[in-house]
Amino acid sequence: MTHRFLKLTAPLALASIGALAFSHRLFNYAFKRVDYVPETSADKQKYADQYYAYVKWYNQIPSETWYLHEMDSSNRMVATYIPAAKKSLKTVIISHGYKGNRETMANFAKMYYDMGFNVLLPDDRAHGDSAGKYISFGWLDRLDYINWINSVIKRDGESAKVLLFGVSMGGATMEMLSGENLPKQVKAIIADCGYSSIEEELVYLLKEQFHLPKYPFEPLVSTINRTRLGYYLGDVSSKEQLEKNKLPILFIHGAQDIYVPVEMAYENYEATKAPKQLWIVKGASHAESFWKSPERYQHRVTEFLKTYLR
- In whole angstroms, give the CA distance from residue 199 to residue 221: 10
d(CA 138, CA 302): 26
Tens digits of per-residue pLDDT, 213-266? 999 999 999 999 999 999 999 999 999 999 999 999 999 999 999 999 999 999
- pTM of the shown model: 0.94
Same domain flag for 4 and 136: no
User: Is the pLDDT reported for residue 302 higher than 90?
Assistant: yes
95-147 pLDDT, tens digit per residue, is 999 999 999 999 999 999 999 999 999 999 999 999 999 999 999 999 999 99
Mark whether 46 and 150 lie in a shared domain. yes
Q: How far is 268 from 261, CA to CA, in rounded Å?
A: 12
Q: Which of 96, 244, 245 is nearest to 173 (CA)?
A: 96
Instruction: State the Cα–Cα distance between residues 266 and 74, nearest whole angstrom.
Output: 38
Among 232, 254, 285, the domain-final residue is 232
Q: Are residues 75 and 207 in the same domain?
A: no
pLDDT on residue 41: 84
Last residue of a domain, one of 174, 207, 232: 232
Both 284 and 296 in a single domain?
yes
> How high is the pLDDT of residue 24?
95
Q: How many helices (H) and strands (E) does the chain have?
A: 11, 8
The 10s digit of each residue's pLDDT in 142-165 is: 999 999 999 999 999 999 999 999
Burial of residue 278 (CB within 10 Å: 0-12, 13-18, 19+) is middle
Average confidence (pLDDT) over 198-225: 95
Residues 115 and 253 in one domain: yes
The CATH number linked to 120 is 3.40.50.1820
Confidence band of 40 (pLDDT split at 50, 70, 90):
confident
**Segments in 42-105 forming alpha helices (H):** 48-60
Residue 31 has phi, psi (to 5 degrees) of -110, -20
pLDDT of 187 above 80:
yes
Query: H helices of 63-194, where?
Result: 106-114, 141-156, 169-177
- Among the candidates 210, 232, 254, a domain finishes at 232
Q: What percent of the chain has pLDDT over 70?
A: 95
DSSP string, 173-222: HHHHHTTS---TTEEEEEEES--S-HHHHHHHHHHHHH---STTHHHHHH
pLDDT at 1 over 60: no
Count how many domains the chain has.
2
Mapped onto helix, strand or coil, the DSSP state of residue 5 is helix
| Together in a domain, 165 and 290 | yes
* Residue-number span of the structural domain to which 226 is assigned: 1-32+199-232
One-letter identity of residue 214: K
Q: Mean pLDDT in the chain? A: 94
